[in-house]
């Protein structure tokens, strides 16, 4: 399968390198090194599928255009619909069975997949509570860019945690409550704290953490799971603690993931599997978009002056 990469920023360049000779062309109106400045300059016959790594505001138009040409599209997260009807209309416009798939590559972190398996096997017993944290210190890289608008860190990092709520916990119809969402150093939201309405799942995101951090902690009646780190940041650790009754120091099983990001290749393979099966990501995309809309609406209701959308 040959690919057209649209958007040649950091992520687009990474995708093109991964594809190697399978990358037919790259398109970006401004970025140095792109093959062309416009999609129209590339013959549709030269590529079979598209990787879309553009700013959020242009994604829907591009996806609709390529689907109408019968080209499947891998979309860099998130894909934000204003309504369920908009998502369904996009799917109806596809030709020749083309689908889109929105990439949430953290699903393919080996220890996140392992954590999911342990949960499915009942390793913690009856699930009680979950905490997830995703933070980095990139806020100054945002300033003056397209990222300094809209939902800010909710769209950048919060969508990953919302995806993992579905992937790990089976959340399909969960509603989320906002506790804190504000700009700290940028013109948009760069810190957020929110969670499930029953307060058993707590999610924290921000790009005002000066050391990269990723953490998932799960507690249940039989023990707990503690994941720390990502492959791209030097590796990860997963600790399974087995509860001792009536009390006492729990037994521990520790698993280590070496440094190195294996998620992009696995994510591409998942896209190609879905293309062959005609299986898109509409349901997950709408679930995440709906949650983000709700959180931003709660922010406007709580503090009208905090609305940083443009």
CATH number at residue 65: 3.40.50.720
Token output for 141: 């890289």
Residues 210 and 78 in one domain: no
What count of other Cβ atoms lies within 10 Å of the Cβ of residue 8? 23
> Across residues 161-178, what is the average pLDDT?
94
Q: What is the mean pLDDT of the chain?
A: 94
H helices of 23-153, where?
A: 56-68, 84-92, 110-120, 139-142, 153
Residues 134 and 44 in one domain: no
Tell which wins on pLDDT, 144 or 225.
225
pTM assigned to the model: 0.93
Whether residue 89 lies inside any domain: the answer is yes
Residues 202 and 246 in one domain: yes
| Burial group, residue 10, by CB count within 10 angstroms (0-12, 13-18, 19+) | exposed
Is residue 184 predicted with pLDDT exceeding 90? Answer: yes
CB proximity list for 176: less than 8 A, separation 6 or greater: 162, 194, 195, 196, 197, 203, 291, 294, 295
Q: Which pLDDT belongs to residue 146? A: 78
Q: How confident is the model at residue 147 (pLDDT cuts 50, 70, 90)?
A: confident
Residues 122 and 238 in one domain: yes
Whether residue 141 lies inside any domain: the answer is yes
Q: Which pLDDT belongs to residue 307? A: 47
Distance of CA 169 to the CA centre of its chain: 16
Among 92-106, 138-152, 199-213, where is mean pLDDT lowest? 138-152
Whether residue 143 lies inside any domain: the answer is yes
Beta-strand runs (E) in 49-206: 49-52, 73-76, 100-103, 127-135, 176-182, 191-196, 201-206
> How many separate domains does the chain show?
2
Q: How confident is the model at residue 99 (pLDDT cuts 50, 70, 90)?
A: very high
Residues 191 and 62 in one domain: no
Whether residue 277 lies inside any domain: the answer is no
Q: Which pLDDT belongs to residue 309? A: 45
Element (H, E) at 237: strand 235-242
Print the domain residue range for 52. Answer: 3-103
Q: Which of 35, 68, 103 is the last residue of a domain?
A: 103
Among 38-52, 136-150, 217-231, where is mean pLDDT lowest? 136-150
Please report, for the domain that includes residue 248, its CATH number: 3.30.360.10
Residues 97 and 110 in one domain: no
Q: How confident is the model at residue 301 (pLDDT cuts 50, 70, 90)?
A: confident
Residues 20 and 43 in one domain: yes
Residues 65 and 166 in one domain: no
> Across residues 23-43, what is the average pLDDT?
94
Q: Which pLDDT belongs to residue 143? A: 86
Is residue 179 predicted with pLDDT exceeding 50? Answer: yes
Contact yes or no for 76/53 (Cβ under 8 A): yes
Whether residue 247 lies inside any domain: the answer is yes
Whether residue 215 lies inside any domain: the answer is yes
CB proximity list for 98: less than 8 A, separation 6 or greater: 66, 67, 69, 70, 71, 72, 73
Backbone φ, ψ for residue 38 (5° rounding) = -145, 145
Q: Which residues pair with 180 in a beta bridge?
A: 193
Residues 31 and 154 in one domain: no
Q: Which pLDDT belongs to residue 145? A: 83
Q: Which pLDDT belongs to residue 286? A: 96
Whether residue 236 lies inside any domain: the answer is yes
Residues 87 and 202 in one domain: no
Residues 67 and 165 in one domain: no
Q: Which of 59, 77, 103 is the last residue of a domain?
A: 103
CB proximity list for 146: less than 8 A, separation 6 or greater: 55, 56, 57
Residues 164 and 300 in one domain: yes
Q: Which of 83, 103, 123 is the last residue of a domain?
A: 103
Is residue 305 predicted with pLDDT exceeding 80? Answer: no
């Amino acid at each position: 399968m040959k690919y057209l990469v649209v958007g040649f920023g950091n992520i687009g360049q990474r995708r093109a390198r991964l594809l190697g000779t399978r990358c037919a062309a790259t398109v970006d109106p401004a970025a140095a090194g792109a093959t062309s400045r416009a999609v129209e300059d590339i013959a549709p016959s030269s590529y079979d599928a598209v990787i879309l790594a553009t700013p959020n505001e242009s994604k829907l138009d591009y996806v609709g255009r390529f689907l109408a040409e019968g080209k499947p599209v891998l979309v860099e997260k998130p894909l934000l619909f204003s309504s369920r009807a908009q998502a369904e209309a996009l799917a109806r416009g596809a030709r020749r069975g083309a689908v889109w798939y929105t990439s949430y590559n953290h699903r393919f972190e080996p220890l996140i997949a392992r954590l999911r398996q342990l949960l499915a096997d009942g390793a913690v017993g009856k699930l009680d509570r979950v905490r997830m944290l995703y933070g980095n210190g990139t806020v100054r890289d945002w300033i003056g860019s397209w990222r300094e608008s809209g939902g800010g860190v909710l769209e950048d990092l919060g969508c990953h945690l919302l995806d993992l709520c579905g992937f790990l916990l089976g959340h399909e119809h969960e509603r989320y409550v906002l506790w804190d969402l504000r700009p700290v150093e940028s013109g948009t939201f760069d810190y957020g704290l929110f969670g499930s309405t029953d307060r058993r799942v707590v999610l924290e995101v921000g790009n005002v953490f000066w050391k990269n951090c990723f953490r998932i902690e799960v507690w249940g009646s039989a023990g707990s799971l503690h994941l720390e780190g990502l492959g791209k940041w030097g590796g990860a650790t997963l600790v399974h603690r087995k509860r001792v009754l009536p009390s006492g120091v729990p037994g521990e099983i520790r698993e280590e993931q070496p440094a190195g990001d294996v998620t992009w290749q696995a994510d591409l393979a998942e896209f190609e599997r879905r293309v062959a099966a005609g299986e898109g990501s509409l349901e997950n995309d709408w679930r995440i978009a709906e949650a983000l809309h709700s959180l931003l609406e709660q922010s406007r209701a709580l503090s009208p002056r905090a609305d940083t959308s443009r």
